[in-house]
Amino acid sequence: MPEGHTLHRLAAHFDKTFGGGAVRVSSPQGRFADGAALVDGRVLAESEAHGKHLFLGFDSGAWLRVHLGLYGAWTFGDADGERHLGAPRAAGATSVELDRDPDGFVVPPAPVGAVRARMVNTSGWADLRGPSACEVVTEDEKIAVQDKLGPDPLRADADPERAWARVSRSRTTVAALLMRQDIVAGIGNIYRAESLFRAGIDPMTPGRELTRDQWDALWQDLGGLLRDGVRDGYIITTRPEHRPDPDAHPVPRPDTLYVCYRTGDPCRVCSSPIAAAELAGRTLYWCPGCQPAR
């Protein structure tokens, strides 16, 4: 689920499984062949996420920038099997047998589908499919991308004041503002809808009509939800008392969200039917009972 939490999980996973060693980079599909050649064989020195961008830094100073878009996903394979991080995807066949070439690098299975980028080291492999961006950039170019992004609640350097300065001056609805990566980086359709529900805020409220307290609470809640997402690996926004089985672990998928994908279903809190509307090409979900228009 490529909202911000997924990218931070990816950065941590790359750091753990590829960081500090030489990496072979290729493009089985061919569309990333030139970029792959630029970093092939280098040592992965740093792995970082900012909003929905993943930055993999190599010892040459070059960075690989990946944006998963709506469909992108990484598949990882090692001696423990396979797993996916990104867009939803059925679990593939798990194979624990890993062949190695004479240099000790893993020989991954034949590419399945369009593998834009493939990374291999001596303990595993990673395949990237369907990204909206996958390119090698300079340090300056990487910084330029980050300069256009708003504060990411998952990053230690995040300054919520910057976001509030924009939000509090805007006539745009808070629902639209939360989706803008130049205002808050890492929020997607699910966190947008769920955080507004939890705050009891009407999504159509103009940014300038939010109170400072409302914004502070929203920012705090987003940070907590994102950190939960990093920990759990999927988005859970429902409080235990609003789940059919408060003690169920892990939380069953149908019970994880308050409003997203629940059009017409009864609100978990007030039983009103969940509403949905198309807004700038995306579906906005909310509860008219818990988030009344003012």
Minimum CB distance to DNA, residue 232 (Å): 12
Among residues 9, 24, 52, 118, which one is catalytic?
52
Minimum CB distance to DNA, residue 77 (Å): 15
What CA–CA distance (Å, rounded) separates 247 from 142? 44
Phi then psi dihedrals of residue 264, to 5 deg = 85, -20
What CA–CA distance (Å, rounded) separates 275 from 284? 8
Minimum CB distance to DNA, residue 104 (Å): 28
Minimum CB distance to DNA, residue 181 (Å): 5
- DSSP assignment string, 224-248: HHHHHHHHHSS-----GGGSSSTT-
How is residue 201 written in tokens?
């805020």
What CA–CA distance (Å, rounded) separates 30 from 259? 41
Q: Look up 282 and say whether it is catalytic.
A: yes
Q: Look up 2 and say whether it is catalytic.
A: yes
Looking at the Cβ atoms of 13 and 282, the one nearer to DNA is 282
Distances (CA, A) of 200 to 154, 245, 253, 259: 23, 23, 23, 12
Q: Which of 36, 13, 26, 9 is nearest to 123 (CA)?
A: 13
For 193, the 3-state DSSP assignment is: helix
Looking at the Cβ atoms of 6 and 121, the one nearer to DNA is 6
Among residues 31, 227, 243, 282, which one is catalytic?
282
Q: Look up 3 and say whether it is catalytic.
A: yes
How is residue 152 written in tokens?
């990411």
Minimum CB distance to DNA, residue 93 (Å): 11
Looking at the Cβ atoms of 89 and 243, the one nearer to DNA is 89
Whether residue 274 contacts residue 292, with contact meaning beta carbons closer than 8 Å, is answered with no
Looking at the Cβ atoms of 100 and 231, the one nearer to DNA is 231
Looking at the Cβ atoms of 90 and 110, the one nearer to DNA is 90
User: CA torsion angle for 169, 194, 87, 40 (degrees, to 10)?
Assistant: 50
Q: In sequence order, what are the residues at sequence separation of 6 or more whose Cβ sits closer than 8 angstroms to the Cβ of residue 162?
A: 150, 151
Q: Look up 24 and say whether it is catalytic.
A: no
Looking at the Cβ atoms of 112 and 165, the one nearer to DNA is 112
Interface residue list for DNA (CB under 7 A): 1-3, 6, 29, 31, 51-52, 67, 69-71, 87-90, 112-114, 116, 129-130, 132, 179, 181, 188-190, 235, 261, 280-283
What CA–CA distance (Å, rounded) separates 122 from 100? 8
Distances (CA, A) of 110 to 23, 28, 91, 99, 120: 18, 9, 17, 12, 13
Residues with a catalytic annotation lie at 2-3, 52, 282
